[in-house]
Each structure stands twice: as structure tokens, then as C-alpha cells.
Amino acid sequence: MVWARGLRKSYGDLEAVRGIDLDVRPGEAFGFLGPNGAGKSSTMRMIAAVSPPSAGELMILSMDPTTHGPQIRARLGVCPQDDTLDNELNVRDNLMVYGSYFGMRKAEVAARADELLDFVQLRDKAKGKVEDLSGGMKRRLTIARSLINDPDLMLLDEPTTGLDPQARHLLWDRLFRLKARGVTLVLTTHYMDEAEQLCDRLVVMDGGEIVAAGSPLELIRAHSTREVAELRFGVGDNEQNAELVADLAPRVEVLPDRLLLYTDDGEATLAQVHERGLAPMAVLVRRSTLEDVFLRLTGRTLVE
């Protein structure tokens, strides 16, 4: 669906994407995980056949975006990070106008618009103003709009950024359904839980490069331990205590507010901590997540 080798994008002296390789397969959900400024959105705009690559090779749906942009875009569904809905049109007319750009006949768009409003649960808002919709509803309408042409490949740039938890879950549910219908999803996110929930495979991006690739589970296995013991000492005491527990786990990370001990048995490690007479204010044993993978690979947390 998407194939890239040595793909680059620069803006003047700034290199946003520094030579990445991609292989997105039909029917999968593929994610770009990384902090703001990692080059995710620049990559997405190139895959959307809008932004021309600065160097490297890129094929989308087996076509070259520099020569077949309109043909590629005819089969894509794009849900951009920033809202591009038309506030002066009502909810349904946003879909009607957008469908016309794809050369669809009016009756065809109308039928599809009603179907999609049902799908994103906005049927009762069809005649309503876009301005009056909540953030989650707007995002769902944008998704409905991007599906108007029944795309083979859907691009979602940070689909749930800025949404409340309930709205996120509703949106994830719709994306699962799309995937079940065989639509290939490519999405960017800086939420590790979103990446774990939605993506079959993902790449971790940092500073314009891919620093790791694989399924969420593979990445966690390859770059982290099974469990993590989190210790919270008082403010300023974390670093000092880190030295006292350094030998209890193969890897210890010091964050401003807590210590992370990477270990295969969190409870056992915790017991050893207590044996040493240390009394953290709070403790937590959890499974490793993509956040830990990211911390390991880049030395930084995802959401700062």
C-alpha cells in the first residue's frame, strides 16, 4: 500500500524526515509513534500525495505521487490533524461538497453521506451547524468526510489528540470497524496506549528517523523488560535513592517525579527495595508499555 526507501523531507536547512524505509501491507493498521517534531506529520503529508518528497523513493498504492497525485488521492481518505471542516455548511453538506470533489454523482454522495453519518453516529446532527459540534463529533465528521470516496487507504494524523477519554474510545471503536472491513489504516500518534490499541505494526520515530519497528509486543520484548516497578520518593530524593537501588534491576531510569526499575519480576524487586529499608511514598508494579520502549530508545518520554 505504501512503500518507501530512503524517504526524506527538508524545509530549507531543517531536515524533518531523514531517510526512512516503509512497507505498509494491505489491511493492516500501521502506526507512526513519536513525540511532536519527530517527522510524523511531514511523512503523512508525503504519503497523502500532497507534499513532494525531497529525496528517496515513495510509492503509494503502487503509484508514484509526483506523477499520479490526483489518481492516488482519489483512493485515499485523509483525516488531518487540524480541523478543515467548513463551518459555514451544515454537517451533511460538508460531506456533500466533499463528495463532489471526487466526481461522485449527487445521488451517490447523498446515499453515502447518510450511511456515513450513521456510521459515525451523527445522523441526528445532519442539519446542524459544524460550529455547534463537540471536538469528538468534529473529528468523527472529519472521518466520515474522509470515507466519502470509499478509500482503500486511510491516513489519520493524530486522530484523538485533544479529545476526552470517552470520545477517544468511541473513535477507536469506529476505526476498529473500518479495519474489520479491510480498510488499511495509517496513523500517527504520540499516545502509546493508542498505538498499542490500534496498531498491528508501528515504527517509532525520533528526530526524523525510524529508531525501531515491529508489532507493539515485539517492540516491548525487544527493548524492555516484562515488568516495571515504579517508585516515587519525595521531590528531589529520586536521584539519591536511584543509587541505592541501582543494582536491583538491569536498568533504572530516573524521571523527575519517579524511578523506573526495569525487571522481569516487579513484585520481587519491590520486596528487595523494602528489605533495604527504603520507603517510597508510592509504588506501582506494571507491565512494560511502548512508553518504556520509547524512553529506552530515545532517553525521553513521549508526552512531555
Residues that bind other proteins (CB under 8 A): 11, 45, 48, 50-52, 69-71, 73-74, 76, 78, 80, 82-89, 93, 96-98, 100-103, 145-146, 149
- Residue 35 Cβ, how far from other proteins at the closest point, in Å? 21
Which contacts (CB < 8 Å, 24+ apart) does range 252-259 have? Answer: 253/295, 255/301, 257/232, 258/230, 258/231, 258/232, 259/230, 259/231, 259/232, 259/233
Give CA–CA dist 100/177, Å, rounded.
25
Q: With the CA atoms of 227, 233, 238 and 241 taken in that order, what torsion angle do they form, in degrees rounded to the nearest 10?
A: -80
Per-state percent for the chain, helix, strand, coil, to nearest 5: 40, 25, 35
CB-based contact 156:186 (threshold 8 Å): yes
Closer residue to other proteins, CB minimum distance, 96 or 285: 96
- Residue 82 Cβ, how far from other proteins at the closest point, in Å? 6
Closer residue to other proteins, CB minimum distance, 155 or 213: 155
- Residue 48 Cβ, how far from other proteins at the closest point, in Å? 6
Question: Would you tell me the crossing angle of helices 135-146 and 91-101 to the nearest 10 degrees?
Answer: 30
Closer residue to other proteins, CB minimum distance, 78 or 259: 78
Closer residue to other proteins, CB minimum distance, 101 or 237: 101
The strand order across the sheet containing 201-206 reads 76-79, 153-157, 184-189, 29-33, 201-206, 209-214
Closer residue to other proteins, CB minimum distance, 28 or 83: 83
The strand order across the sheet containing 2-11 reads 14-24, 2-11, 55-60
- Residue 168 Cβ, how far from other proteins at the closest point, in Å? 23
- Residue 101 Cβ, how far from other proteins at the closest point, in Å? 4
In degrees and rounded to multiples of 5, residue 14 shows phi and psi of -85, 120
Which contacts (CB < 8 Å, 24+ apart) does range 11-15 have? Answer: 15/208
Q: Which residues pair with 227 in a beta bridge?
A: 263, 287
The amino acid sitting at 200 is D
- Residue 103 Cβ, how far from other proteins at the closest point, in Å? 6
The alpha-helical segments, DSSP class H, found in 224-275 are: 238-245, 266-275
- Residue 52 Cβ, how far from other proteins at the closest point, in Å? 6
Closer residue to other proteins, CB minimum distance, 36 or 100: 100
Closer residue to other proteins, CB minimum distance, 139 or 145: 145
- Residue 147 Cβ, how far from other proteins at the closest point, in Å? 12
Closer residue to other proteins, CB minimum distance, 14 or 180: 14
Q: In what helix (H) or strand (E) does residue 119 lie, and over which residues does it extend?
A: helix 106-119
